[in-house]
């Protein structure tokens, strides 16, 4: 374990621990910082459970790995955390995604965040990264912090929420007549074996989504990655619900949309990817599959009351679909980026 001691002018000591194999005690301290920061910044939002956070931090990923740090003050209180996700696939090996949280009670001491960020940047350089990206809710501490530390805003996004018990836009869309030449297929978890190849091909087109000037590269998708995502969600007590439209002529996927469902009764589900095959875009397929999926969710999971999604502001097609279905904007998010080269 690497450990650092830093002094500031007021002789406050900050110890930054690098967590290679976090103990339960360290994870509990990590969670304390995370949950306090989230409930402070997003008071009306559900906070992930300690089990979800533990699973996310400790489950090996197939094409990325975390570097984790926990900062303590001289009283040994946990005051800040940093998670740097390093992609290991060829097309994203330049990238590191940062999630840095400072306990609200310790934000007035700007040395804490600075010391932690310095440690993170050094490590990213050692790992030959060219960019560090970080997401911040507009107007929060993170927004001001990243901006002050030289990160540049490169992509603007909007978080939206659909109240399933309020919207009347879903039932009114009688889209079934448009299935001609296609068949609908729905599955839970990873794509079934007989569809995995065509699904991976469809999934790769997520690389087409507009991301402003974000240096994101091309995400890696293969069958192992599809299974790894399903397994990781399962360990967190969640699962994927996918609705796909399949071309009956060649068996290819015309479009699919994914929702992440909780196993607990928190009443919220989260959108994952929605993709339409490039040749079929602009013909109503995206709207159709999302409408059908939402109709299914209302029937199969009556406890789900709201659905969360996040869209790049430049993704006009996706935004139009979501607004037509009754999603309403709740917050703005900024993707920040620090170029290291």
Ligand X SMILES: CC(C)(COP(=O)(O)OP(=O)(O)OC[C@H]1O[C@@H](n2cnc3c(N)ncnc32)[C@H](O)[C@@H]1OP(=O)(O)O)[C@@H](O)C(=O)NCCC(=O)NCCS
What residues line the site for ligand X (CB under 6 A)? 206, 208-209, 273-276, 281-287, 315-318, 320-321, 324
Q: Taking a C-beta distance cutoff of 8 angstroms, is the pair 99, 82 a contact?
A: yes
Whole-Å CA distances, 170 to 153, 293, 297, 318, 328: 35, 10, 11, 16, 14
Q: How far is the CB of 304 from ligand X (least distance, A)?
A: 19
Q: How far is the CB of 261 from ligand X (least distance, A)?
A: 17
Q: How far is the CB of 31 from ligand X (least distance, A)?
A: 29
Nearer to ligand X, 117 or 325 (CB): 325
Q: How far is the CB of 239 from ligand X (least distance, A)?
A: 19
Q: How far is the CB of 206 from ligand X (least distance, A)?
A: 6
The secondary element (H helix, E strand) that includes residue 269 is strand 268-276
Q: CB burial class (10 A; 0-12, 13-18, 19+) of residue 310?
A: middle
Q: What is the DSSP string of 9-34?
A: TT--EEEEEE-SS--HHHHHHHHHHH
**Among 156, 119, 123, 130, CA closest to 215:** 130
Dihedral of the CA atoms 289, 291, 295, 300 (nearest 10)?
A: 40
Nearer to ligand X, 17 or 257 (CB): 257
> The tokens 């997401």 sit on which residue?
135
């Amino acid at each position: 374990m690497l450990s650092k001691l830093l002094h500031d002018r007021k002789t406050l000591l900050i110890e930054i621990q690098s967590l290679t194999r976090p103990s339960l005690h360290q994870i509990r301290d990590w969670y304390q910082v995370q949950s306090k920061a989230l409930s402070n910044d997003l008071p009306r939002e559900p906070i992930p459970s300690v089990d979800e956070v533990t699973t996310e931090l400790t489950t090996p990923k197939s094409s990325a790995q975390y570097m984790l740090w926990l900062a303590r003050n001289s009283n040994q209180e946990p005051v800040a955390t940093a998670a740097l996700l390093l992609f290991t696939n060829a097309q994203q090996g330049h990238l590191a995604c940062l999630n840095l949280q400072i306990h609200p009670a310790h934000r007035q001491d700007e040395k804490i965040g600075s010391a932690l960020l310095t440690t993170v940047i050094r490590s990213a350089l050692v790992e030959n990264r060219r960019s560090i990206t970080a997401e911040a809710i507009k107007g929060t501490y993170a927004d001001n912090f990243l901006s002050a530390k030289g990160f540049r805003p490169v992509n603007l996004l909007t978080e939206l929420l659909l109240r399933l018990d309020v919207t009347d836009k879903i039932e009114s869309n009688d889209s079934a007549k448009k299935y001609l030449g296609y068949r609908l297929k729905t599955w839970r978890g990873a794509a079934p074996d007989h569809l995995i190849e065509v699904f991976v091909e469809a999934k790769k087109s997520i690389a087409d989504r507009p991301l402003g000037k974000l240096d994101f590269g091309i995400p890696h998708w293969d069958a192992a990655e599809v299974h790894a995502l399903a397994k990781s969600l399962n360990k967190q007590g969640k699962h994927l619900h996918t609705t796909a439209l399949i071309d009956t002529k060649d068996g290819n996927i015309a479009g699919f949309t994914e929702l992440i469902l909780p196993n607990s009764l928190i009443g919220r589900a989260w959108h994952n990817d929605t993709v339409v095959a490039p040749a079929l875009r602009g013909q109503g397929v995206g709207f159709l599959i999302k409408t059908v999926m939402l109709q299914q969710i209302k029937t199969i999971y009556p406890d789900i009351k709201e659905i969360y999604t996040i869209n790049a502001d430049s993704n006009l097609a996706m935004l139009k679909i979501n607004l037509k279905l009754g999603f309403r904007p709740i917050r703005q998010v900024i993707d920040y980026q620090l170029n290291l080269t």
